[in-house]
Structure 1
């Protein structure tokens, strides 16, 4: 594929708001997971909650979109001068030539959960209709976050939401690249937003996938996921002339759908292998060029085992890798975008972030899993995002030297 530049990018997670806050914690090998105290949830698990979301006020003209997911989107957009960068590109190419492609899993479903508590009571005392101020289209609807962000930023090109579970905000990089290559648009805002809700936490608990302690990706005796929330955005443009040293490029995208099982990966990670090999082919590079892999690494026994086997099959055990979900929690539909930005920061800073919480790597997973940060230049990084139903996506990012 034709390489695209990440002209600007930002992220907000439980580690903090914006790139600097997140990188400081990663560089210090610190996480921000905490015992679950979200809403009315009573579960013995840990979560990653973004600070300040409840205090966000949606601008008046967009008040119909008010929900936790869109509040986090607005909060994240306001970091790192991202809005100003988008406005500059709009001024150059026109608002209708800037597309918007975002990933989410549950969107604003929390708003529906809250609305159900306020259902109206009829004359017989039976609960009935949802309250009249509940706005499904602008909140719970999966497209809500794309509609909100498009209106907030003033972009008028093609806009869509991808909801393919945990691969959602990785796959949007592919959507944007194809649209730009086809000449439909000149630039795109991509990323993802996912927020804490009762459905997600109780749902993963029903699958027996929540860990009672902070998640330990790839760890011996790992017990499952720590759910987090987060948002990340990147502005993709064509490379203009000679890319400046230090520029981060989207070099390759690989996608697969192995359809092995609705919630379990193929035990040998065949779909993951296909996605990684496709991403490398798309970038036109061989596996030995990858200096760091940000693993999907959810800390569930079966998912880590399948991904570990897939990584070993493609890269052997000589490519440094880690999962940053021990620090941020699993941000679900936002994970691909969040971890793509982490890869960009790792290349910019010349440091490979360790996977925290993990004390000893599962001996059955024959990969170079980092338990300590490693100072090392990275020319190319691979980001893995694998979702329910075998929806897999791998991204290759590179830095201009």
Structure 2
């Protein structure tokens, strides 16, 4: 049985690859000082109605992970490997020195190697089955990003990928913390990755009306909580955190960005793609995360919102935040800068939340020019806000009614 007392998983390493920048520092700098969404026309989407996205044009897999691996791995795995390498190095842990049987890998991905699947489907149609790559299955299988990270770092503990749509990265981190609490392992490499800016996937989102219609104005297209929001900007990216027990991190003198102190999950049981409008399902996850962390709702300082820039999600989430947490927390959505990276979104937002607690800086919500009058929250906009953030929550919601919430506390902070 899990320990019912509060449990802190220390974030000792962070790695990020986003449209805002390659590396945690570059991403953080752009997110806290936004000049609009890092979106532009995506070459792979040329000729499709929804052709803009937050992609990473400067990412060179050959340089990042080596040519031999780059040609064998789907881009989602490439990004995961890059973020994981940065996170492990940042933690100060040395894979050659650790007991790999006590190191787990838990990543989130909503779709997996879709780009490789689509490419090889064209090969099948154009050239026949004998030309399909023998590497197709390990390229497309959703679990392979975690598998490749484990191979790279000699992590022989539990290894799996969570697939809870756009909550996948958050679910992964929640499960990683649980492995530490249960004593199954001592270190977890965890986060999320996604790279599916391809015609089939984005056309599907476009056809259901989820993607922004501002195709001619990419940088202003993602507008969380704005009265003129009309859909999300799709993105690719990855973020990886290294988690350890807080006591273990303290014992080895590790720098701790923040603690993951609570996790909650629930289902709307309402609709395949639309959120339950009152936020009742998501409320279960939020309250569970706070209870798990031993944090009172009125003690939450900051919310890193799911904030997709879709009319339904932003309104439902705002209703939820106001009802449970009131108007006290400072709220932000980083999707105004990095877009919506689906299964990686929660991991990227968790990394930013940890950095927010560490640096005492709340990033602004980009492109929020006129806040929806029905959203009565303290949404940070225009410029970053300096604040001592003791407690924060990061929300993630996904198709199928998936809800996942992480509660963070500042390292060394007393809970109230």
Fold match (TM-score > 0.5): yes
Return 130-139 or 264-273, whichever deviates more. Answer: 130-139
Query: Does 2:274 correspond to 1:267?
Result: no
Instruction: Classify the secondary structure of the residue corresponding to 2:364.
Output: coil
8 A contact 1:76–1:231 mirrored in 2: yes
Instruction: Classify the secondary structure of the residue corresponding to 2:123.
Output: coil
Distance 1:51 1:380, change over 3 A: farther
Aligned to 1:222: 229
Distance 1:233 1:222, change over 3 A: same
Aligned to 1:11: 16
Deviation at 1:281, TM superposition (A): 0.4
Query: Does 2:144 correspond to 1:144?
Result: yes
Q: CA–CA distance in 2 between the matches of 1:386 and 1:396?
A: 15
Q: CA–CA distance in 1 between the matches of 2:354 and 2:411?
A: 11
8 A contact 1:104–1:165 mirrored in 2: yes
8 A contact 1:137–1:144 mirrored in 2: no
Matches within 5 A, 1:246-325: 247-325=257-335
Aligned to 1:38: 43
Query: Does 2:396 correspond to 1:385?
Result: yes
Q: CA–CA distance in 2 between the matches of 1:106 and 1:199?
A: 12
Distance 1:130 1:340, change over 3 A: farther
Distance 1:296 1:40, change over 3 A: closer
TM-score by length of 2: 0.89
Deviation at 1:398, TM superposition (A): 1.3
Listed as ranges, the gaps of 5+ residues in structure 1 are 122-126
Instruction: Classify the secondary structure of the residue corresponding to 1:100.
Output: strand
Q: CA–CA distance in 2 between the matches of 1:139 and 1:297?
A: 31
Listed as ranges, the gaps of 5+ residues in structure 2 are 1-5, 215-220
Return 179-188 or 250-259, whichever deviates more. Answer: 179-188
TM-score by length of 1: 0.92
Query: Does 2:81 correspond to 1:91?
Result: no
Instruction: Classify the secondary structure of the residue corresponding to 1:10.
Output: strand
Q: Deviations over 1:235-264 (max 9, x none)?
A: 111122684786411110011112211101
Deviation at 1:232, TM superposition (A): 0.5
Aligned to 2:59: 53
Deviation at 1:115, TM superposition (A): 1.0
Matches within 5 A, 1:161-200: 161-195=161-195, 196-200=197-201
Instruction: Classify the secondary structure of the residue corresponding to 1:400.
Output: coil
